[in-house]
Structure 1
Amino acid sequence: MSLKKFVVNKARPLPVIILADTSGSMSINGKIDALNLSIKDMISSFASESRLRAEIHLSVVTFGSKAATHLPLTPAHQIEQIENFVAQGTTPLGAACTIVKDMIEDKECIPSRAYRPIIILVSDGYPTDDYKNAFDALINSDRAQKATRFALSIGNDADNDLLESFGNDVEAPLLFAHNAAEIAHFFRAVTMSVANHSKSQKPNEPMKLEFVNDELADDDLDIPL
């Protein structure tokens, strides 16, 4: 009998990329603290997940004083720590979109065998750079079109039209967090949904957000019905 029949299939990467607004306005009302804690909790949860079928990889691209790769795309179980975000500067979303587009198109970073990426954009303001071409290039790129994309509008001053055009979940193209607690609620829903998706029979299908009724009621996040 051939030994090939006993070779264990290697888990396929499931990329999760977060576009996180870290502009100065995120320092208000505990928003940046909630984001920091939420990302750390997400990493801890992802690191403990089974890697039989899908291995969750996580990256965080921030846009504040400048757009930067805060965390390169890394298997979650290999992430030992992540530096806290510091809220400062403006909102260079366009530059961040270029970073993410380059990342998802890089076949060494995300190989062809990887599952469809999940891209999450969170922001509490309007872009301050010439973002349109870079934003359009990202969402119209082949891999981003196939990706599952969610957007979270934080507070009362976000560019909701832009954020809604980013999301591609027909049931919830845009979610809203009115305070720091709701930022944490959103990320708990994302964390749970990605974890369950990674263990499903079809991790390459579009992912749906799952909400825990006792802490993620529809009126908390203004989920369209």
Structure 2
Amino acid sequence: MVMQQFAVATARPLPVIILADVSGSMTQDNNICALNAALKDFLSTLSKESRLNAEIQVSIITFGGSKAEVNVPLTPAWQINQTDDLVASGGTPMGGAFELALEMIENKEIIPSRAYKPTIVLISDGIPTDNWESSFNKLKNSDRAQKASRMAMAIGAGADKNMLKAFVNDLEATEVFEAHNAKEIHRFFRVVSMSVSSRSQSNTPNQLPTVDFSKLPDDELDLSDF
């Protein structure tokens, strides 16, 4: 018991930062509902992971309306009991989300130096409506943030795939995942959770596995909640 408590107390943080598009267009095809369900499944899966080697911590930053905001502060996954459903409205202020992610990563009180490399996951179905380029350049050129793995999912035909391709840095995922329905949104998060779980159980969590978005068979997907 003492050894288990010691192991949990000294586990190094493994941060996962979700940047979620909650613009008005996410109401199309019930994409926001699919995203909410997939996020709940994602958090539930990560909450059950062992904390011996690494403690998975998750933050959700949303961007919609006229601003980006921290919906869920960086919190150990096992401590996140429930989250409010995301609500879609307004524009796509993606640059604001990049700024909040950068602030989080550069704040050593939130992500200490002993933490493992963060994973940043960007989800969007549209075109940014703010000055995202400047904010993104600051994120990718930051001494701390540039070490993070960056993955992206394009939802629907209206997503800015070129922008999302620029976001992905090939450290873990080599391509943008394209989702056109609830099943594919769910599939993306299943694969991301498998990757994060693999890192948390590894003796070398900073060695990033290669993500294969075609890895999960359809018969492993339970979409009863959609």
- TM-score, normalising length from structure 2? 0.88
Q: Does 1:36 align with 2:27?
A: no
Choose 47-56 or 174-183, whichever is displaced more: 174-183
Map 1:138-153 → 2, pairs under 5 A:
138-153=139-154
Offset, 1:22: 0.5
Offset, 1:168: 1.2
1:4 equivalent in structure 2: none
Offset, 1:139: 1.6
SS in 1 for 2:139: helix
Pick aligned residue for 2:178 from 172, 176, 179:
176
- Give yes or no for contact 2:123–2:154 (8 Å, CA) kept in 1: yes
| Superposed structure 1 runs of 4+ greater than 4 Å apart | none
SS in 2 for 1:189: helix
Q: Does 1:163 align with 2:202?
A: no
2:130 equivalent in structure 1: 129
1:206 equivalent in structure 2: 208
Offset, 1:43: 1.1
SS in 2 for 1:208: coil
Map 1:1-225 → 2, pairs under 5 A:
8=7, 10-65=10-65, 66-169=67-170, 172-211=174-213, 212-215=215-218
The residue identity in structure 2 corresponding to 1:95 is: G
SS in 2 for 1:52: coil
SS in 1 for 2:10: coil
Show CA shifts across 1:134-169 (max 9, x none). Answer: 111112212222111101111111111110011012
Distance 1:18 1:197 in 2: 17
- Give yes or no for contact 2:191–2:216 (8 Å, CA) kept in 1: no
Q: CA RMSD in A?
A: 1.8
Offset, 1:179: 1.8
Q: Percent identity?
A: 51
SS in 2 for 1:122: strand
Choose 173-182 or 99-108, whichever is displaced more: 173-182
SS in 1 for 2:83: coil
- Give yes or no for contact 2:152–2:176 (8 Å, CA) kept in 1: yes
Choose 199-208 or 19-28, whichever is displaced more: 199-208
Distance 2:54 2:122 in 1: 23
- Give yes or no for contact 2:105–2:145 (8 Å, CA) kept in 1: yes
- Give yes or no for contact 2:187–2:216 (8 Å, CA) kept in 1: no
SS in 2 for 1:34: helix
Distance 2:30 2:182 in 1: 6
Offset, 1:17: 0.3
Offset, 1:193: 1.4
Distance 1:174 1:143 in 2: 23
Equivalent residues, number:
211
